[in-house]
A and B are shown apart, each in its own frame.
Chain A
Amino acid sequence: MNELARFAFGVLVWPGLLGAAALGLGYLWLARKGLARLQGRRGPPFGQPFFDLVKLLGKRTVVPGDANRGFFYALPVSAVAATTFALLLIPVPGNLIGSFPGDVVLLLFLLEVPVFCDILAGYVTKSIYGQVSAMREGVLMIGYNVPFLAAICAMAQHAGSFSLAGMAAAPQGVVTLLAAVAFLIAVPARLKSNPFSIPNAEQEIVAGAHIEYNGAPLALFELSHALELVALANLFMVLFVPHAGALAFFAASLALVCAVTAIAALTARLTVARALRFYWVWGGLAAAASMAAALVS
């Protein structure tokens, strides 16, 4: 297969749009079902997030009068595009696109794009709830990136390489364990699930940054959330699960989704100041421990 066909396959099928969307919507269903079961409910039927997505795609879109039309449509599209390309960089089983030096830096940038799109969406739609949500998301981002970036940097230092393939091939050790802990601390906030569902707190600020979004643009935001979930699960698997085949890949991803769901069911939402303090104290400790282990060993 030539380079272009491999790239097209990567973007459209696996690990890009189609495969990751199917996987991500499956994870979202599992999270909703698990949450319902833990609350003593029956939960949604299989494939519910897929039906939600199709239904939203088939609705008419209403653009708020004082929002910039171009921005309104561009934000969800760029969120989906950035996450798709982020998925492409992670060397999961079946990814035909090779790793290159420094790809982890590009990956970290692409993973931040949907967050910025959310923040801008809050401001662009001129809704007061959206603006509160955007502010909260910005503050939360300053928090969870402390352990998240430290985990990646520690792994890079440990592997002596800034390519994901190099980091995946690094031997397992204390550094891997500490970095995995720091990474896991950051995951619930990255996914905006309880106790860090602060930017999308539906009982307080209605629907967060997406409040004025509807129809297809809202569907694209939901899709980018599903893809983000897959990207985080893939990244976790590649960095911290030793020599993973396809089976270990699924097991690690499912375990991650179940853990996040259980935490979401067991906890109540924190205030934004407490969440920030949690990430700067406990996330900071995990970050310092993993960086110290990486520099010493």
Chain B
Amino acid sequence: MSPLGWLLGLARRKSPWIYCAKAGSCNGCDIEIGPCISPRYDAEQLGVLRQGSPKHADILLVTGPVTMRSRDALLAVYAQMPSPKAVVALGSCPATCNVYAGSPTVDGPLSKHIPVDVWVPGCPPRPQQILAGIARAAELLGSGQTADQEKEKVAA
């Protein structure tokens, strides 16, 4: 690997900026994201910054089972994130639709719509697990193994 590529990989691993998208979650997972950036768990130690615009983010955190109302917004947010990007699914809802499975207004699970790199199970997951999920996604970004990067490799 070239020195420049090595540096870029290191920077991607050490600077994961996150954007949180709520796809119809019950708020449980969203509440658990709060402590991650507060003094007790302080995600900034990992270089994590929460961004208000998907265009500044590297990692998309998705909560909720993907309802029909939130689906298009979620796809728009994903499309607006510049490559390379990673997706972390928080909680059981994006993975299996959880207790909302079978509802006529739910269009899940998440992997039907966008490629997911890291699943963080739990209802809701604990902040430590969320941080571990973000760190794992950052590692994947650094080594070029996210679904988005793999797709580009195939295209090239």
Contacts and interface: CB of A to CB of B under 8 A. Distances in A.
A207 B55 CA distance: 10
B45 interface: yes
Contacts of B52: 202, 206-207, 211
A42 interface: yes
A44 B7 CA distance: 18
A44 to B, nearest CB: 5
Given A44-B44, A44-B47, A59-B82, A214 B56 contact: yes
A58 B42 CA distance: 26
B86 to A, nearest CB: 12
Contacts of B82: 59-62, 214-215
B12 interface: yes
A48 B83 CA distance: 21
Nearest to A40: B39
Nearest to A61: B82
Contacts of A59: 58, 82-84
Interface in B38-66: 39, 42, 44-45, 47, 49, 51-53, 55-56, 58
Given A42-B42, A54-B8, A60-B83, A48 B56 contact: no
A48 B15 contact: yes
Contacts of B49: 52
Interface string B1-23: 00000011011101101000000
A27 interface: no
Contacts of B11: 50-55, 58
Interface string B64-92: 00000000000000001011100000000
Contact of B15 (A32, A55, A61, A62): A55
A213 interface: yes
Interface string A1-38: 00000000000000000000000000000001000100
Nearest to A53: B11
Given A45-B45, A59-B84, A51 B56 contact: no
A267 interface: no
A39 interface: yes
Contacts of B42: 36, 41-43
Interface string A203-229: 000110001111100100000000000
Interface of B: 7-8, 10-12, 14-15, 17, 39, 42, 44-45, 47, 49, 51-53, 55-56, 58, 80, 82-84
8 contacts: A41-B44, A52-B49, A54-B8, A54-B10, A55-B8, A58-B11, A59-B83, A62-B55
